[in-house]
Amino acid sequence: MATVEALFELPFLDLLYRAQGVHRAHHPANEVQLSSLLSIKTGGCPEDCGYCSQSSHHKEAGVAAGKLMAPAAVLEAAQAARAQGATRFCMGAAWRNPKDRDMDTLTAMVRDVRALGLETCMTLGMLEEQQARSLKQAGLDFYNHNLDTAPDFYGHVISTRSYQDRLDTIRKVQQAGLNVCSGGIVGMGETRRQRAGLIAQLAALTPQPESVPINHLVPIKGTPLEDAPALDEFEFVRTVAVARIAVPGAVIRLSAGRESMSDATQALCFAAGANSIFLGSKLLTTPNAPVSADLELLARLGIRPAAGKP
């Protein structure tokens, strides 16, 4: 924890220089992986995460509850994502946990998307061991389950589950042989120490997560965090850099919040070691930059999209 905190205190350029050095020792330079995100079950979630539009506790946020999509519709979306250049397809459900009766539908989705040659990721909430094993058996590559923030800030943001619940699911995912995608959100009013606390927790997982999404809070009207104080953009870049140094082998995903970031800030995030973005005009419920603008930005920076790993 002390070493992670010390990284945050470095002069900005020293931190960026170190992060880019670590990046080049572990990952190809000038390469960013393109992912696509689909909400396979939207809204009506029983959890009360203070940032989220999909919680049934935040009715003013105005996201209607839907049903789990049919595998055929998911396959169609994955085909479209692949045609746009994505090599990874992430499927998210607004659940506390999947029901056993949904497992056949979920595993069918994984098989279909995997058969397209796309890397697969799902985020469905808490898992039981058997559910994690079924997803692995169907060919799921990654499971996303974010720690989201430091243990001592968690209770300010979410009351319906504990930090330990998150750690327990991550352990089950690891035991099932799945790769772990776990990261967090910054800009929720947490302190720098708490941002360091999140990264220290992620870095302490054994094995370390293979994928770390760093989300910038997208403030959503009707949620408890709609008026969270704005975060200095350099502090966001610092968080990306510290994640890169502390979890050197992971793909660091520049996730939610890019829509409101300038091209220059995004370029700084790439310099800090971010090497994946979500492509497509929508995340789960919030807008994302248009595909053409993203591809143009990468081209302007001489960054090539990473080839897929079939």
Q: How many CA atoms lie within 13 A of 185 on its CB side?
A: 20
Name residues contacting ligand DTB, limited to 154-213 (CB under 6 A): 183, 213
Q: Which of 33, 35, 36, 54 binds ligand SF4 (CB under 6 A)?
A: 54
Strands 276-278 and 251-254: parallel
Cβ nearer to ligand DTB, comparing 18 with 69: 69
Spell out where the chain has E strands: 31-41, 88-93, 119-123, 142-144, 179-181, 184-186, 211-216, 251-254, 276-278, 304-305
Q: Return d(Cα 267, Cα 261) in angstroms, integer.
A: 10
Shortest distance, position 154 Cβ to ligand SAM, whole Å: 12
110-116 LR contacts (CB < 8 Å, sep 24+): 110/135, 110/138, 110/139, 110/140, 111/138, 111/139, 112/71, 112/74, 112/75, 112/78, 113/74, 113/75, 113/78, 113/89, 114/138, 114/139, 114/140, 114/141, 116/75, 116/78, 116/79, 116/82, 116/89
Q: Is 220 in the site for ligand SAM (CB under 6 A)?
A: yes
Q: Is 123 in the site for ligand DTB (CB under 6 A)?
A: yes
Q: Is 118 in the site for ligand SAM (CB under 6 A)?
A: no
Q: Is 55 in the site for ligand SF4 (CB under 6 A)?
A: yes
Q: Which of 138, 217, 241, 268 binds ligand SAM (CB under 6 A)?
A: 217
Q: How is residue 123 written in tokens?
A: 């985020």
Q: Does residue 82 carry a catalytic annotation?
A: no
Phi, psi of 263 (to 5 degrees): -60, -40
Q: Is 239 in the site for ligand SAM (CB under 6 A)?
A: no
Shortest distance, position 126 Cβ to ligand SAM, whole Å: 8
Shortest distance, position 50 Cβ to ligand DTB, whole Å: 13
Q: Does residue 269 carry a catalytic annotation?
A: no
Q: Is 148 in the site for ligand SAM (CB under 6 A)?
A: yes
> With CB under 6 A as the contact rule, which of the stretches 61-69, 140-148, 198-206, 262-270 interacts with ligand SAM?
140-148
90 binds, among ligand SAM, ligand SF4, ligand DTB, none (CB under 5 to 8 A by kind): ligand DTB
Q: Is 285 in the site for ligand DTB (CB under 6 A)?
A: yes
Active-site residue, from 52, 88, 161, 244:
52
Which residues does the annotation mark as catalytic? 45, 49, 52, 90, 121, 181, 253
